[in-house]
């Protein structure tokens, strides 16, 4: 778009205003009298040119810069190009200031929306790729077992039950994977809301530990809950925090060593209204390079062990999203062959005595 040397709006404003000034001046001169026709024409022409020039210059100075800026903002929006614009004060001198401010705000909103949509699109592509990769393994395994059975192994009593059990194990893995996929999808899109309420933290921990004792005993791992104030209350979604604890404690059991320990306890935060709830294990630990990636979807520290134990690779990602939805912090500390500690903050309930 070529920049115009003359402003159409300034020409129209100056032209109409100058004609009105000329007519008013001419009428005044006629009323005064004593002027010849030539004098009246000459004075009117001079008045017209002088008024037009002054009004055009004033109008150009006042309006043209803002009009060019409005055109630039609208053109950039049309071309999906966004950048920094000169700040316009919330105090508007006239309608052009209002239009310019609204245009810049619209540009900023559209830029944010496009970024959000691009993020969702990238997430969708990554998610579909991850799902395809994760689903292939159990589906192909089930297919292989069923084909083998159909080809005659179903009549062999020594192998048919073994193959059916393996197929069933992969079916269960698909069920867990589908459940976790639905849950993380709701968390990442904000569809799952937190029902925040006051709850006794120790009761929640003991409920989860009791439900996981059988699994820990089966793996020869001891779960120890360190002593802390049983009357301590926190503000959170009870079911979601239980899920966080289940995922973290199950991981601590799964990646532990035989005869290992899972320790659960609470430490006071530097902030008076916060506490750190930690789950510490004596397991295989995590490499330093992997610490920032363990909460990614489908990332596994030990792929073979995770799949053997039925892990979907989504547990820590779900933990991260739940903690972030609560506005809390998650911290991971680990040393290879020394164990790991997963900690997250919770907001304490402070009861003011009357």
Domain chopping of the chain, boundaries:
8-110, 122-189, 197-348
pLDDT band at 61; cut points 50, 70, 90? confident
Where does 122-189 sit in CATH, by number?
Answer: 1.10.287.130
The 3-state DSSP composition of the chain as helix, strand, coil percent (nearest 5) reads: 60, 10, 30
* Backbone CA torsion sign across 292, 297, 302, 306: positive
Burial class (CB in 10 A: 0-12, 13-18, 19+), 177: buried
> CA-to-CA distance for 157 and 11, rounded, in angstroms?
98
What the block records as the tokens of 86 is: 């000169």
Cβ neighbors of 98 (< 8 A, separation 6 or more) are: 92
Q: How far is it between the farthest Cα atoms of the chain? A: 130
Which ranges in 201-302 belong to alpha helices (H)?
201-218, 238-254
Q: Can you tell me the mean pLDDT for 213-221?
A: 92
For the stretch 120-141, pLDDT in tens is: 777 677 767 767 767 777 888 8
Query: Is residue 188 scored above 70 in pLDDT?
Result: no
pLDDT band at 161; cut points 50, 70, 90? confident
Residue 194: name the closest of 146, 148, 162, 242 by CA: 242
CB 86 within 8 A of CB 115: no
CA dihedral 89, 92, 96, 99 (to 10 degrees): 70
pLDDT of 1 reads 40
Strand ranges, E, within 19-152: none
Query: Is residue 7 scored above 50 in pLDDT?
Result: yes
Strand 261-268 to strand 233-236: parallel, antiparallel, or no bridges (unpaired)?
A: unpaired
Query: Is residue 58 scored above 70 in pLDDT?
Result: yes
CATH domain 197-348 topology: Heat Shock Protein 90 (3.30.565)
Burial class (CB in 10 A: 0-12, 13-18, 19+), 110: middle
pTM of the predicted protein model: 0.58
């Amino acid at each position: 778009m070529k920049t115009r040397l003359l402003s159409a709006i300034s020409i129209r404003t100056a032209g109409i205003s100058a004609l009105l000034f000329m007519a008013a001046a001419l009428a005044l001169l006629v009323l005064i009298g004593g002027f010849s026709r030539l004098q009246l024409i000459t004075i009117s022409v001079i008045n017209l040119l002088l008024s037009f020039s002054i009004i055009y210059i004033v109008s150009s100075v006042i309006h043209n810069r803002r009009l060019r800026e409005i055109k630039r903002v609208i053109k950039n929006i049309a071309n999906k190009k966004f950048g920094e614009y000169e700040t316009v004060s919330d105090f508007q001198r006239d309608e052009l200031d209002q239009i310019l401010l609204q245009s810049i705000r619209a540009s900023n909103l559209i830029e944010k929306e496009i970024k959000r949509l691009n993020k969702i699109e990238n997430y969708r592509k990554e998610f579909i790729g991850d799902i395809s990769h994760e689903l292939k393994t159990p589906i192909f395994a089930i297919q292989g077992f069923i084909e083998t059975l159909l080809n005659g192994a179903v009549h062999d009593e020594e192998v048919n039950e073994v193959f059916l059990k393996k197929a069933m194990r992969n079916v269960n893995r698909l069920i867990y994977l589908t459940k976790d996929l639905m849950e993380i999808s709701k968390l990442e899109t904000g569809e799952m809301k937190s029902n925040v309420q006051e709850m006794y933290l120790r009761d929640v921990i003991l409920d989860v530990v009791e439900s996981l004792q059988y699994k820990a005993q089966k793996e020869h791992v001891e779960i120890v809950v360190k002593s802390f104030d049983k009357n301590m209350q926190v503000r959170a979604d009870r079911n979601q925090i239980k899920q966080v604890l289940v995922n973290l404690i199950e991981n601590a059991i799964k990646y532990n060593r035989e005869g290992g320990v899972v320790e659960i306890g609470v430490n006071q935060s530097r902030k008076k209204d916060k506490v750190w709830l930690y789950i510490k294990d004596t397991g295989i630990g995590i490499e330093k390079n992997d610490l920032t990636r363990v909460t990614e979807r489908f990332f596994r520290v030990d792929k073979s062990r995770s799949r053997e134990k039925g892990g979907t690779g989504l547990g820590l990602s779900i933990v991260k999203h739940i903690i972030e939805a609560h506005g809390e912090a998650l911290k991971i500390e680990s040393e290879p062959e020394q164990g790991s500690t997963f900690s997250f903050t919770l907001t304490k309930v402070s009861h003011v005595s009357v």
